[in-house]
Amino acid sequence: MLREKRAADIAQVLAKYPPERKRSAVMPLLYIAQEEYGYCSDEAIREVAEIIGCDPTEVKSIVGFYTMFYEQPVGRYVIDVCDDLPCALRGADKFVTYCEKRLGIRAGQTTPDGKFTLNTVMCIAACDRAPVAQVNREYRYELTEESFDRMLDELSQS
């Protein structure tokens, strides 16, 4: 239960908004829920809906609208590689193809051991340091095939 496990975080989030505008907290609460459950499960959605006092269907629509809320379980490490135009002009497509081969999955899939999810994403505001990716929302700049291999080795050991 989120309300027990993350009581302090939830209180901190709710305090940011006027008391009668709890609904504003839906996105930060979904991030908390996702941290706890790994994705926005039906249970997570129901709990968030209870906290802000709205229908779970409405919370579900938020989850569906924004790309950073996951509707399905994802790997322990979500690797989001940008393949938008500015990055693609600096080799991002070739790099993504390498990532797919190295992980043995296509973009949008998760490795069978549940460790890595590979996604391609639209521009993430770091085009001068392409190819660029985020791993669980942390930036990884100026990636090469070698640095990607090293990164996977490090993450595999952790």
- List residues near another protein by CB under 8 A: 16, 18, 21, 23-28, 30-31, 52, 61-62, 65-69, 80, 83-86, 88-90, 93, 96-97, 100, 106-109, 120-130, 134, 137-139
Closer residue to another protein in complex, CB, 45/121: 121
Contact, 90 vs 130, CB < 8 A?
yes
Closer residue to another protein in complex, CB, 34/152: 34
Closer residue to another protein in complex, CB, 4/19: 19
CB of 127 to another protein, least distance (A): 4
CB of 148 to another protein, least distance (A): 16
Closer residue to another protein in complex, CB, 41/120: 120
CB of 82 to another protein, least distance (A): 9
CB of 90 to another protein, least distance (A): 7
> What 3 state SS string does the chain have?
CHHHHCHHHHHHHHCCCCHHHHHHHHHHHHHHHHHHHCCCCHHHHHHHHHHHCCCHHHHHHHHHHCCCCCCCCCCCEEEEEECCHHHHCCCHHHHHHHHHHHHCCCCCEECCCCCEEEEEECCCCCHHHCCCEEECCEEECCCCHHHHHHHHHHHHHC
